[in-house]
Amino acid sequence: MLKVEGVSTFYGNIQALRQIQIKVKPGEIVTLIGANGVGKTTTLKTISGLIRASEGRVLFNGQDITAEPPHKIVEMGISQVPEGRCVFPRLSLRENLEMGAFIRQDKETIAQDVEQVFETFPQLKGRDRQLAGTLSGGEQQMLAMGRALMSKPKLLLLDEPSMGLAPMIVVEIFKIIEEINRQGTTILLVEQNAQLALKTAHRGYVMETGQVVLQGATDTLLNNDQVRRAYLGEG
């Protein structure tokens, strides 16, 4: 579904990504883990077109999207939940969700899909008129995810959904991620919370300073000594 082939990305003179290779197959949850500042967000932004790769290609369903602008990429079916959630603070929950459907032509079914999002995120139910800025961090994360789903993506990019949230809420959000995946959305999940990410995803990539250093099935990675030492705080 998604192929990132030898992608390098720069911020000015600083190279943030070095020849990244990532593959996501339909129906999978793939996670990208690594410490702060290794280039996880940059990878997602390169995929979604917010930053241009200076080398390599990004293919989505066989189509080269490396040079496409972000709005075209959303139209093709890739939706991103940005790091730090970025809800529209002074718009209501419902308006936030409707904004997520901006690219859609089928206006009639949007209201239906808003209801669907409320089913997926029961905590948001009945609060359509509340301003998004007044939600708790966890609720904002849920809203941002629901909003991203409103564009009916084939591939959902999640950038650190656990960031700054209490452990209990994180667990809840990861359950919902699994649920979204069961309903047919492929997911690329960026996380610092390696433990939970590896337990949720099917396959994983480990990044260090702009490079992918390890990859494999999450079961294998969970048992990998290097991963256990560096990311799971063991041994």
Partner 1 sequence: MLSPYYIQLVILVGINTIMASSLNLIIGYTGQLSIGHAAFMSIGAYASALVTVHFNFPFIASLLFGALVATLFGLLIGAPTLKLKGDYLAIATLGFCEIVRIVFLNLDITGGSVGLRGIPKKTTLLTVVVAVLITIFVLNRIINSRIGRALIAIREDETAAESMGINTTYYKVICFGVGAFFGGLGGGLFAHFFRFIQPNSFGFMCSIEHLCMVVLGGMGSMWGAFIGATAITAIPELLRFLGDFADYRMVIYGAILVIMMRVRPQGIIGQRLSADQVSIGEKLFNRWAGMGTGGKRG
Ligand X SMILES: Nc1ncnc2c1ncn2[C@@H]1O[C@H](COP(=O)(O)OP(=O)(O)O)[C@@H](O)[C@H]1O
Strand order in the sheet with 63-64: 14-24, 2-11, 55-60, 63-64
CB 232 within 8 A of CB 195: yes
Per CB under 6 A, the list member of 1, 4, 22, 38 interacting with ligand X is 38
Per CB under 8 A, the list member of 3, 35, 55, 88 interacting with partner 1 is 88
Residue 198 makes contact with partner 1 by CB under 8 A: no
Total Cβ atoms within 10 A of residue 209: 14
Q: Between 98 and 191, whose beta carbon lies closer to Mg ion?
A: 191
Q: Which distant-in-sequence residues (6+ apart) come within 8 Å of 65 by Cβ? A: 49, 58, 59, 72, 73, 76, 78
Tokens for 202, please give them.
Answer: 């099917």
CB 111 within 8 A of CB 75: no
* Span from 16-24, 37-45, 60-68, 146-154 in contact with Mg ion (CB under 5 A): 37-45
Per CB under 8 A, the list member of 91, 110, 222, 232 interacting with partner 1 is 91
Q: Between 80 and 185, whose beta carbon lies closer to partner 1?
A: 80
Provide the 8-state DSSP code for 122: G
Q: Is the dihedral of CA 100, 106, 107, 109 positive or negative?
A: negative
Residue span 201-230 as binding mask against partner 1, x where in contact by CB under 8 A, dash where not:
------------------------------
**From partner 1, Mg ion, ligand X, none, which one binds at residue 122 (CB under 5 to 8 Å depending on kind)?**
none
21 burial class (0-12, 13-18, 19+ CB within 10 angstroms)? middle
Per CB under 6 A, the list member of 1, 7, 16, 165 interacting with ligand X is 16
Using CB under 5 A, which residues numbered 101 to 160 contact Mg ion? none
Q: Between 36 and 112, whose beta carbon lies closer to ligand X?
A: 36
Residue 193 makes contact with Mg ion by CB under 5 A: no
Give the residues lining the site for ligand X (CB under 6 A). Answer: 11, 14, 16, 34, 36-42
